[in-house]
Amino acid sequence: MQGSSSGYHYGHLYGYFQGDGGSFVPYKPFKEGENIYFTRSKDNAFVYLIHEGWPFPSLTTNCVKPRDGSEIRMLGVQEPVNWHLDGDSLVIEMPASFNDKIPCEHAYCFKIEQI
């Protein structure tokens, strides 16, 4: 996976997300646009969306569609985030309360149940 214009590379992002019980593994990563990266768990149960920069108030992607009823969680925060599909796009809504719970400095990872 290539680094972004901010100078942070995928290898640096890995260190931020090891707190997810070791399930975050850089396996077949890919990139969408300038600041969204994806990888998945080894068992294909989860997709991890990694966004460089704080994604408030929302972020949108066309690359992942969670199962109905799935929870999406930002690693480092206990509460799940709200999400919805807008046509073919996944929209993850960041509540204002998360502005006080920013778990790291450069990139934020969302754990999404596989399609």
CA gap 20, 71 in Å, rounded: 15
**99 phi, psi to nearest 5 deg:** -60, -25
Does residue 27 sit in helix, strand or coil? coil
> pLDDT at residue 110 above 70?
yes
Sort residue 69 into left (φ over 0), alpha (ψ -120 to 50) or beta: left
CA gap 106, 9 in Å, rounded: 11
Name the nearest CA neighbour of 107 among 45, 28, 29.
29
Range 10-113 has CATH code 2.60.40.1180? yes
CA gap 49, 24 in Å, rounded: 11
CA gap 84, 11 in Å, rounded: 30
- pTM for the predicted model, two decimal places: 0.74
So what's the pLDDT on residue 2?
A: 35
Which tens digits make up the pLDDT trace of 2-35?
333 333 444 444 444 444 544 555 555 677 777 8
